[in-house]
Amino acid sequence: MKQVLPVKTKRQLKAFIDFPHVLYKDDPYYVPELYIAQKDLLTPGKHPFHEHSQLQLFLAYQDDKLVGRIAAILNNNHNAFNQAQDGFFGFFDCVEDGEVANLLFQEVHQWLNQKGATTMIGPVNFSTNETCGMLVDGFDSSPAAMMPYNYPYYIPLLEDLGFKRR
């Protein structure tokens, strides 16, 4: 059985941060983020983003095994400046399973709709001051600073959900 749960506990936050390390454990080009930096980024009171905006982290499970993660992000400063109602997704990592990806994005879409967002943009981890975008080429080399890393299968997963490259 596949399900998506919101992150509410410290244990779930740790699982959210650690999931990419499990997903990419055998990939020689994956460079892990520093755990403490990710924890500070995602913890209210530790990063200035949380003073003006909101996020909700989600974890996907299949038969009690963690198989994906994503964040729903509402950047109120972005929306005020741009006079928009944009929502964002970020921190997306997932096994190669369209159903899991779909479940994660359904949760993000629902959360953003409840907050009044009318669009979903991403991947963006808070704002352009953090990592954003997705690797679409160069899967056979290590990423540069501020460059995300992902498997090539992320491209069709997102395209199958209706996302387009810009």
Q: How many other CB atoms are there within 10 angstroms of residue 163's CB atom?
A: 17
Which tens digit of pLDDT belongs to each residue from 98-150? 999 999 999 999 999 999 999 999 998 877 777 888 988 888 887 777 788 89
Indicate the range of 2-6, 24-28, 48-52, 54-58 predicted with least confidence: 48-52
Tokens read off for 128:
């352009």
Entry pTM: 0.94
- The class (CATH top level) of 2-158 is alpha beta
67: pLDDT strictly greater than 90: yes
Position 69 confidence tier, pLDDT thresholds 50, 70, 90: very high
27, 128 in Cβ contact below 8 A?
no
Tokens read off for 25:
């454990």
* Residue 11 to residue 105: CA distance in whole angstroms: 22
Q: DSSP letters along 147-159, please?
A: -----TTHHHHHH
pLDDT for the residue numbered 148: 85
The full set of domain ranges for the chain reads 2-158
Share of the chain above pLDDT 70, in %: 100
